[in-house]
């Protein structure tokens, strides 16, 4: 009798943990993310994954996560390229404005455009803070130079590969 109760509890726990894992979602947060056939950067690409794509977690392998896409494709994705929080819709009206209609549905797209704006220099709040603190103009100009530096996707990939960083780590 006792053995049956213990077996039943173990079985219930297994079902509960499987159900919880099946409900676990991730969202693609990095451009250039691909679904891989195995948990390795050198494995075959299964499909490209657009930023914001919802993924169902099948297995959490630490640095690599086995997932299923909305269209039923299974594969592995590097954990550093996904988020456990869904992008939320931007609160905005109409198709006008800086972002235009295509970018109004995603917080991720909004964050990208905010980043692009920040590259053009200090935000008004930061500029005001620097003014109040008496930050020398030469420092502000040097910071603007740093913020204006652009790194291409190819340069970034080369850097990550050579440094064995992120999904390229051994």
The domain tally of the chain equals: 3
Answer whether residue 11 is part of any domain.
Answer: no
User: What integer pLDDT is reported at residue 65 of this predicted model?
Assistant: 93
Model confidence over 100-139: pLDDT tens digits? 333 333 444 444 444 444 445 567 777 777 778 887 888 8
**DSSP annotation of 96:** -
Instruction: Locate 50 and state its tokens.
Output: 């657009």
103 CB contacts (<8 Å, ≥6 apart)? Answer: 90, 109, 110, 113
Model confidence over 82-97: pLDDT tens digits? 998 887 654 333 333 3
User: What integer pLDDT is reported at residue 94 of this predicted model?
Assistant: 39
Same domain, 28 and 78: yes
User: What integer pLDDT is reported at residue 151 of this predicted model?
Assistant: 83
Answer whether residue 79 is part of any domain.
Answer: yes
Residues β-bridged to residue 67: 57, 75
pTM of full prediction above 0.85 = no
Instruction: Locate 116 and state its tokens.
Output: 């692009």
Range of the domain at 32: 24-83
């Amino acid at each position: 009798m006792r053995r049956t109760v213990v077996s039943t509890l173990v079985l219930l726990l297994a079902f509960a943990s499987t159900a919880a894992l099946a409900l676990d979602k991730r969202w693609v947060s990095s451009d250039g993310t691909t679904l891989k056939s195995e948990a390795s950067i050198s494995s075959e690409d299964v499909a490209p994954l657009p930023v914001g794509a919802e993924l169902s977690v099948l297995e959490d392998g630490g640095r690599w996560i086995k997932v299923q896409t909305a269209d039923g494709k299974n594969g592995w994705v590097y954990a550093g390229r996904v988020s456990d929080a869904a992008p939320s819709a931007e609160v905005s009206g109409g198709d006008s404005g800086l972002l235009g209609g295509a970018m109004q549905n995603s917080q991720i797209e909004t964050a990208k455009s905010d980043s692009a704006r920040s590259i053009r220099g200090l935000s008004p709040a930061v500029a005001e803070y620097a003014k109040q603190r008496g930050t020398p103009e030469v420092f502000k100009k040097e910071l603007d130079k740093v913020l204006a530096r652009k790194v291409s996707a190819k340069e970034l990939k080369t850097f990550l590969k050579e440094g064995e960083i992120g999904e390229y780590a051994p």
